[in-house]
Each structure stands twice: as C-alpha cells, then as structure tokens.
Structure 1
Amino acid sequence: MIEAPRVGTAPYLRNTAGSPLAGSPLAFSHRGFAPNGGENTLKAFNAAVELGFGYLETDVHASRDGVLMVFHDEDLRRLTGETRKVSDCTAAELARLRVAGEPIPTFDQLLEAFGHAHFNVDVKDPASAALLARAIDRHGAADRVLVASFNGRRRAAVQRMLAAAGAPVAASPGVLGVGAAALLGSLAPLPRSWFRNVAALQVPERHGAIRVVGPNLIRHAHAAGLQVHVWVVNEEADMHRLLDLGVDGIMSDNADVLARVMAVRGIWPQDRPAG
C-alpha cells in the first residue's frame, strides 16, 4: 500500500490516493533513453516520452555565467571530448558542444519542451541550488519536480528557497539521510520527524555487500509516509522482483525494458497529463 506523503509534496507523486496513477509503481527513465549515446539530451528525453514515460531523471550543473545546464559529469570529457569542467564554460560555449550529435540543453529548455513531464533532478554542484529553485519558481513547476542530491545541504537549500516563495517541492534525502534510513529501516520503524522534508527514499538496491532494499525497509518507509524508489535497475528480472517486493518506483537506463515490464503489469503508459 503506497502511503500519501506530507502535504505539499503529494502533487509530484502521481501514484498516491486520488492521483492519476494511484497505487501504481512509478517508472523513471534515467537520463532519458539513449541506447546509442546522447544521455540527458532533448532527443533522449523525447525518446523516453515516446515510450510512455511521465517521469524523467536528470542532472544539473551551473555554467560559469550562471545558467543551469542539463549534464551529469563535472567535466565534459566523457561525453564531448572537451577537457574543461562545466563550471569553466559559459552557456554559449556549452551550447556549441555536442553529445552524440546533440546540444547540451538548459534546464529551462527541458521544462519548456516537456510541459507534462515530471523531473527527478540531481543537484550536482552548490551553485545549481539557487538556479534550480529560481527555474522551478519561474516555470511554476514545483508540482512536477523532485529535488535530489547526494549532498543533503544542496537539496535542503532548494527546498528552503522554494518554501519561502510559497512553492514547496518534493525531495529525497542525501547520502546521510539514505544511510540512516537504510540502517534503521531494516530493523525498526522510521521516525517521521527525521524525514519530514522528504517524500521518497531513492536508493540503490545494494551498496557494496550491504543490501539496502528489503521488505522491512519498504514496510517501515511506507509506515512513515515515504515511498521507496530504486536506482539504477537495468535487468528485467530484477525489475519484476523489486516490484513484487513492493517498491514504489524504479529508475532504469534501459527505458525500453522498464516500459515493457510496466506494460506486462498493465500500468503503462504513465505520460498522461494530470487532470
């Protein structure tokens, strides 16, 4: 049973009671769908949407001149061959680079291009926090963005700024929060006061030799009003196993495989607009 999160974070989670996908696990396309390269490009996200995804996972970095760019790595080498960091380049310089033939989008472009999509956004650097908060507020997108970061301070900074603007946004905890939940949740109920500002625990199934996701964590998370989303799951058998276990969402690089799994279970597509 998927429990409703605290007031103010529910709109993002369209699988809570009374929402369009009530009771269904959510499917997240990790960095879009780019089997031949081109992650985090408009083409990759469009491919995911065409498959039926309503939830898109992405990452943001700030350019040198304060533009929020959609890019995962700190430096540009792996995807563009450029030796500099994202933060060393202006937005104009980044716009001239290509990832598998595609330009690097800004986060504003992402929100504008996919007006009904929900975005799971990983804040990759400190400068991105304020830029992300302003972008979400500017586009009126607080109900379709979940803020995540390995660094809990960045996530909290975005939430504080948006709360002050009257636009509370959903979030998942950083490394410390996830670690505390994984350790305690496998043994005992989770104190909701520890997680009052988050709507979901977004976790790997395992961390090294340690199993993070199990029946106890899921049960205790649900009792605390938290969903459990698992990343990054790429094998079909693992997807079915985790869904049978009761997780509330799965993120995958293999969007086509995840779409097939969801379709087999009769809960596809998930890209329908709210209302």
Structure 2
Amino acid sequence: MKQVPYLDAPGPLGFAHRGGAAAGDENTTAAFARAAGLGYRYIETDTHATADGVAVVFHDDTLERLLGRPGRMIDLRWSDLATERIGGAAAVPRLDEVLAAHPDIRFNIDAKTEHAVAPTVEVVQRLNAHDRVLLASFSSARLRRLRTLAGPTVATSMGMREVAGLFAAYQVGRRYTPAETVVAVQIPPRYGRIALATAKFVDYAHRCGLQVHLWTIDDPDQIGLFLDLGVDGIMTDHIEVLRDVYIKRGIWP
C-alpha cells in the first residue's frame, strides 16, 4: 500500500466521525476535544464555506437541523455566523481554528460543496497541514478539483464514480490504478444490494495499493467483524464503543 505521512500510524485506524456525533453534538470544538481526550488521533469532519469564503466545519447544506433557523451556509458571512450557536453553546468552528487547536490530530475532511473547495485547500496550505489531512468528497469531479489545487503532497480518497470504477475492475479481475494522491477507498459496508465490505474486495483494494476505511459503524459486533475482514480503518459516531473494541483487541494506540 502507498506509504504517506497521513497513514503512518499503526492500524487499523479509528476515526471519530464528525468528532463522535452520537454524543449529541457534531463538528464542534467540544466534540473534537472529547474525541482527542479519548485517545483518537483521526477525526472525520466536513467543510462548507461562508459567503465571504471562510472555510467552516459543518455538515449540512442548510442550517435548520443544527442551528434551528432557515437558510444556507453559503448565504451567511463569517461575521454573522460567528454569533450563531449549536445547541445554545458551541459556535460553528472555522477550519483553521480546528487544525491549529489539534496539531497532533489527522483530519479526514469532506468538502461538501464546490464553494468549499478553494477555502478548504487554502487553509491546508496556509497552516502547512499537508501531511495531516486527507481530502474527501462524494463527488469525483469535486475531488479532481481538490487534487489540482492541493497538489501531490495531500492525500485523498475516492469519489462515488471512482469507487464504482474500482468495484467494476474488481469484479472482472482487472487491476485498477487510482489517481496519484488516492491512498484509501472509504465506503459503507453495503451500497444498496451490493456488499462492498468483503474479504475479497478488501484484499483486492490492498493489491491496488489502497487502504479500506468503512463508515459509519457503531455496533461492537460489526466493528469486530469488519476488523476480522482486514479493513484498515473504521469511522464511528459512538467513539467509546469503537475504542473499547480496539482496547480489547490490543490495537488502541
């Protein structure tokens, strides 16, 4: 598999999904601090950008679920967003603040919109965080733009079209060559009726030089099952559950 600084920690990796969303908050400074306090060294998160181009850590396109108000992130300037609260307490954090606050944490960053691409990459470059971020997106087109702007030193995962291409190559026994900076395929266990997390597919991805990371797995028995299949990382909302499974297996860092 590809040897890059982002993946040089002992595996299998444990990712706190949105900082550990099961606790009731997500993508907040408190959530990230909680995950780091439990020993997590990998955190999955999301970025949007404000109307004036500030990269912020936030998942949804709209504000209703997390901020309790109508509107979209792209319609707010940072000066307006800075006064908002999630659950009456934690403000929506800026990406640069989060990366600066956790210099020892590696972040898996999903750019949720086209508008977020350039601001996200600008923060990575300004903070010289190339070795400790992996850029992700469901959109393969958005990932191509992320790769172009970020350059060859920033690790990336695969978009949906790329995952489909990888799986199609696996089915016919053809070798798949990923883009230069792709180091991992990040997938759910199933996509519709198709089982993706199988021992044979994991082995195939490894032979293509890729790690396999699964999202989002919260049940301890399933976590153990997928570890036995040889996956390289698991993302979870229930960060205590995954940590306990890893501890019992002697693989918690």
> Is the structural similarity TM-score above 0.5?
yes
2:229 aligned with 1:245, yes or no? yes
2:251 aligned with 1:264, yes or no? no
Contact 2:55 2:116 in 1 (8 A): yes
Equivalent-residue separation in structure 2 for 1:205 and 1:186 (angstroms): 17
The match for 1:272 is none
TM-score, with length taken from structure 1: 0.88
Please give the root-mean-square deviation of Cα atoms over the aligned residues, in Å: 1.4
Pick one of 144, 147, 169 that aligns with 1:156. Answer: 144
Alpha-carbon deviations, 1:11-51, whole Å to 9, x = none? Answer: 10024xxxxx2xx2100000002444220000001000011
Q: How big is the shift at 1:228?
A: 0.4
Q: 1:66 to 1:261 in 2, by over 3 A?
A: same
2:92 aligned with 1:104, yes or no? yes
The match for 2:132 is 144
Give aligned pairs, total. Answer: 252
2:2 aligned with 1:11, yes or no? no
Contact 2:20 2:236 in 1 (8 A): no
Alignment of 1:1-275 (within 5 A): 3=1, 5=2, 10-15=4-9, 21=10, 24-100=11-87, 101-163=89-151, 168-192=153-177, 194-269=178-253
Equivalent-residue separation in structure 2 for 1:80 and 1:126 (angstroms): 22
Contact 2:153 2:181 in 1 (8 A): no
Equivalent-residue separation in structure 2 for 1:244 and 1:45 (angstroms): 28
- Hey, which bits of structure 1, 4+ residues long, moved more than 3 A? 194-197
Q: How big is the shift at 1:189?
A: 4.5
Contact 1:182 1:213 in 2 (8 A): no
Say which SS state the counterpart of residue 103 (structure 1) adopts. Answer: coil
TM-score, with length taken from structure 2: 0.95
Equivalent-residue separation in structure 2 for 1:229 and 1:36 (angstroms): 22
Contact 2:154 2:181 in 1 (8 A): no
Identity %: 38
Contact 2:156 2:184 in 1 (8 A): yes
Say which SS state the counterpart of residue 27 (structure 2) adopts. Answer: coil
Q: 1:72 to 1:11 in 2, by over 3 A?
A: same
Say which SS state the counterpart of residue 229 (structure 1) adopts. Answer: strand
Alpha-carbon deviations, 1:195-228, whole Å to 9, x = none? Answer: 4331000000001221111112111111111000
Equivalent-residue separation in structure 1 for 2:171 and 2:107 (angstroms): 28
